[in-house]
Amino acid sequence: MQEVIRARGHEHVSAEHASTFEVTSDDWLTPAGDCILAIDADRTPADFDPEFVGACQSHDATIDVTVRVEAGEDTYEQTVSGRGHPELTFDGDRSIVFRTSDYVDDRTGVVGAEHAAEGFDRDLVSALTDGADLTVTIEVE
């Protein structure tokens, strides 16, 4: 079962945050948003199918987040695995946050992620800084 979000990079994407990475539906980004990979997302967690949400609400759920960036003829792809949690609500109507910690709020899409924004390939990040298109596929097992 999966959900897909499409967004785009921005000149202020730095991907330097040590505990989270995020995709937002906002159409702007300041340099302080060092966890944000992309803006102008076409969907938020509040749009997700209730069946998908239910599947993620287990400590036993494995959630894979695949980030795919297309920049001209170059394509970059990286998958980050994490876990589900019984308190995941996916009620956030502005952004989704993937966390290395076990903290949960209405924007949380995964806990226990293998890495945060700082762990993304720098070529992928550079393409996002240049405004490349991003697709996030969230798949739960």
Q: What confidence score (pLDDT) does residue 16 get? A: 98
Q: What confidence score (pLDDT) does residue 37 get? A: 98
CA-to-CA distance for 30 and 84, rounded, in angstroms? 30
pTM over 0.85: yes
Structural domain of residue 36, as residue ranges? Answer: 2-140
How many structural domains does the chain have? 1
CA-to-CA distance for 133 and 138, rounded, in angstroms? 17
What are 23-64's pLDDT values in tens digits? Answer: 999 999 999 999 999 999 999 999 999 999 999 999 999 999
Q: What confidence score (pLDDT) does residue 5 get? A: 98
Q: What confidence score (pLDDT) does residue 104 get? A: 97
Q: What confidence score (pLDDT) does residue 81 get? A: 98
The number of beta carbons lying within 10 Å of the beta carbon of residue 79 is: 12
Q: What confidence score (pLDDT) does residue 107 get? A: 97
CATH number reported for the structural domain that contains residue 43 in this entry: 2.60.120.630
- The residues pairing with 4 across neighbouring beta strands, listed in sequence order, are 137
Q: What confidence score (pLDDT) does residue 34 get? A: 97
Determine the distance from the C-alpha atom of residue 126 to the mean position of all C-alpha atoms in its chain, rounded to a whole number: 17
What are 96-126's pLDDT values in tens digits? Answer: 999 999 999 999 999 999 999 999 999 999 9
